[in-house]
């Protein structure tokens, strides 16, 4: 497995791989890999000949009061896991090599990114779209794999790919949970044992909603009772990220809430019975 630090070096390597007739799978991550990320790498391995995992804590998707500096990092741990899961390359650039000091171009999705995390984290999805567009240009993937855990992000990226004609297939891999139901996230590391216990309300109540035992209001009340602050609870059409209508095939029930100082997100997809 090769470790590439420079963007132009990755692009050169990717073009050589494509010219040799092999397909490329890209798994964009911010590192501190867990089983959820590994399932994305495994999915990319099934779908492409050559797998690139990017490990880059993207500064431009963090707001001024967010956790950029304390976002967990452990490159050696990430390197070992990527190697174990058969990645061909880790791309781990320095922020200064990814972004010129006088950069002036952004990629912005303006519809699907308005609500949910986009409403509470201004500029977040602009930062995500910009780095993902750059990663697509550098890694030249045929297929890129994202996690359903970040349901809104996956939809925003699908829209970016559609509207800007990136020749990349987007695959969304299922959300992975720990044995206690908590969705895997690098930020779970911040939780105290008591906060973690309370955080179980997210998966518990989303699953109850999927069984038809809670509506959106009931979901909000259940999460409010256990969390320190609810950012949002939504019940949306999974494709449009708007209120469901007569054509809705699948509901996205999603929530973001704080446990202590840690903000967690979780969601579940509910097929609409017709
Ligand atoms: O989901 C993430 O970890 C990040 O938002 C991504 C897609 C790697 C872009 O920095």
Read off the CATH number of the domain in which 239 is found: 3.30.1300.10
Q: How many domains does the chain have?
A: 2
Does residue 30 lie within any of the structural domains?
yes
Half-sphere exposure of 130 (CA within 13 A, CB side): 18
Decide if 37 is catalytic: yes
Whether residue 274 has pLDDT greater than 90: no
109 and 7 within one domain: yes
- Which one of 37, 77, 85, 124 is the catalytic residue? 37
On average, the pLDDT of the chain sits at: 97
Supply the pTM of this predicted model: 0.96
Q: pLDDT > 70: what percent of the chain?
A: 100
What would the pLDDT profile of 203-220 be if each residue is shown by its tens digit?
999 999 999 999 999 999
**Mean pLDDT for the stretch of residues 167-174:** 98
Tokens matching residue 106: 């952004």
Does residue 169 lie within any of the structural domains?
yes
User: Residue 166's CB: how many other CB atoms inside 10 A?
Assistant: 17
Return the pLDDT at 217. 96
Distance CA 231, CA 207 (A): 19
Q: From residue 52, how far is each of 27, 132, 141 by CA, in Å?
A: 6, 13, 8
Angle at 98 between CA 96 and CA 101, to 5 degrees: 50
Widest Cα–Cα separation across the chain: 57
Which candidate, 116, 58, 141, places its Cα nearest to that of 253? Answer: 116
* Substitution site in 153, 155, 188 for ligand 1 pocket (most atoms within 8 Å of beta carbon): 153
Does residue 274 lie within any of the structural domains?
no
* Substitution site in 29, 93, 107, 176 for ligand 1 pocket (most atoms within 8 Å of beta carbon): 29
Helix, strand or coil, per DSSP, at residue 167? coil
Read off the CATH number of the domain in which 16 is found: 3.40.50.620
What would the pLDDT profile of 40-75 be if each residue is shown by its tens digit?
999 999 999 999 999 999 999 999 999 999 999 999
Domain that holds residue 236: 186-267
79 and 197 within one domain: no
Beta strands in the chain (DSSP E): 2-4, 24-29, 50-55, 89-91, 143-147, 169-173, 229-237, 250-259, 262-271
194 and 144 within one domain: no
Helix, strand or coil, per DSSP, at residue 89? strand
Return the pLDDT at 273. 86
166 and 196 within one domain: no
Q: Where is the domain boundary, 145, 173, 201?
A: 173
**Mean pLDDT for the stretch of residues 263-269:** 98
**Mean pLDDT for the stretch of residues 99-123:** 97
Return the pLDDT at 160. 98
User: Residue 73's CB: how many other CB atoms inside 10 A?
Assistant: 13
29 and 138 within one domain: yes
Does residue 181 lie within any of the structural domains?
no
């Amino acid at each position: 497995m090769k470790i590439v630090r420079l963007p132009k070096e990755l692009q050169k390597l990717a073009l050589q791989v494509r010219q040799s007739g092999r397909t490329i799978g890209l798994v964009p991550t911010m590192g501190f890999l867990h089983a959820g990320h590994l399932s994305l790498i495994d999915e990319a391995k099934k779908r492409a000949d050559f797998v690139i995992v990017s490990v880059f804590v993207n500064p431009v998707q963090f707001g001024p009061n967010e956790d950029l500096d304390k976002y967990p990092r452990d490159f050696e741990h990430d390197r070992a896991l990527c190697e174990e899961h058969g990645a061909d390359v880790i791309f781990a650039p320095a922020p200064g090599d990814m972004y010129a000091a006088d950069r002036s171009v952004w990629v912005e999705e303006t519809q699907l990114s308005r609500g949910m995390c986009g409403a509470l984290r201004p500029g977040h999805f602009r930062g995500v779209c910009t780095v993902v567009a750059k990663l697509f240009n550098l890694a030249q993937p045929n297929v890129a794999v994202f996690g359903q855990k970040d349901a809104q992000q996956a939809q925003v990226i699908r829209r970016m790919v559609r509207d800007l004609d990136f020749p990349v297939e987007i695959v969304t891999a299922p959300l992975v949970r720990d044995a206690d139901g908590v969705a895997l996230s690098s930020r779970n590391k911040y939780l105290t044992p008591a906060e973690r216990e309370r955080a179980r309300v997210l998966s518990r109540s989303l699953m109850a909603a999927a069984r038809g035992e809670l509506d959106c209001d009931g979901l909000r009340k259940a999460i409010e009772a256990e969390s320190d602050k609810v950012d949002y609870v939504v019940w949306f059409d999974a494709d449009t990220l708007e209120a469901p209508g007569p054509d809705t095939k699948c509901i996205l029930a999603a929530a973001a809430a704080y446990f202590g100082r840690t903000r967690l997100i979780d969601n579940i997809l509910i097929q609409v019975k017709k």
